[in-house]
Each structure stands twice: as structure tokens, then as C-alpha cells.
Structure 1
Amino acid sequence: MHPYVEDEETLERVFINMDSRVLLDYKSDQSGEEGIQIAGNRYLHSVYFHTLFLFTITKNRSYQL
């Protein structure tokens, strides 16, 4: 995961590595195409919202980005 910040106030993009070992291990435990898709979506949402949370904390506490 890598946040891309254009200026100090705006989070432009979040790059998420969808080939991570954690996701691949989790997908291997799932059965069927639907289970694999749900696992991928769940991972994507989890990492994305975690990144937004960390960005907000960083911005509110005036840390350097």
C-alpha cells in the first residue's frame, strides 16, 4: 500500500499491492470463484479504509507526509 499525496491536504490515490502474500494465502483457503472474489474485495476494502484512517490521523496531528 502506498498513498499518493499531491499536496498536504489532498489524498490523490492509494496504490494497493494485490499480489501480496497475505492476500494470496487467504485466497488459497477459499473455495470457488465467488469466494476468491469476495476475499479480494474484502482485502481491498480493508487496506483502503485503513489507509484513509492513517492519512486522516497524520493530517490531524500535523505530521510530515
Structure 2
Amino acid sequence: MDAANIASLATSLDSMQLNNQVSTLVLKKALDNQQSVASGILDAIPQLPANPAIGRNINTTA
């Protein structure tokens, strides 16, 4: 291998490592955002009434 090829390979590997680090940080940010959205959705679910039968049954007899 020539010295130029070694330098080119080292530069390529360094660039690849930087790209992987950036991709990992972007993925982490996206996952944190999804976790925040999911927590918001779960917090928005209304609580069950004290008596779970209330509001869940339909009286079909007259």
C-alpha cells in the first residue's frame, strides 16, 4: 500500500465513524421524542370511574 492509500483509508474510516455517531445521536433524539409523545398519549387516557360497570353497559330491557 502506498502512503496516499493509507491516508485515504484513514480519512474514510474517520468519516464513517463520524457519520455513525451522527446517525446514532439522531436516532436517540427520535426515540426520546417518541417516548415523550407516547407518555403524553398515555397521560391523556381518562381514568376509569369508581364503579367500572357504569357507562359500559347498555340497558336493552324496557
For residues 32 and 41 of structure 1, what CA distance do their matches in structure 2 show? 14
SS of equivalent to 2:32:
coil
Higher strand share: 1
Query: Matched residues in 2 for 1:57 and 1:40: separation?
Result: 26
Q: Could you list the per-position Cα deviations for residues 21-47 of structure 1 after superposition, in whole angstroms to 9, with x for gaps in the alignment?
A: xxxxxxxxxx01100000100100000
Residue of structure 2 equivalent to 1:40: 10
1:33 partner letter: A
Q: Could you tell me the percent identity over the aligned residues?
A: 6
Consecutive unaligned residues of structure 2, counting only runs of 5 or more, are 34-62
Q: Distance in 2 between matches of 1:34 and 1:51?
A: 26
Higher relative contact order (CA 8 A, sep 6+): 1
Residue 50 (1) aligns with residue 35 (2):
no
**Divergent runs of 4+, >6 A:** none
RMSD over aligned CA atoms reads 1.4
Unaligned runs of 5+ in 1: 1-30
Say which one has the larger Rg.
2
TM-score (ref. length: structure 1):
0.48
Structure-2 separation of matches of 1:34 and 1:58 = 36
Please report how far the alpha carbon of residue 51 of structure 1 lies from its aligned counterpart in structure 2 after TM superposition: 0.6
- Report how many aligned residue pairs link the two structures: 33
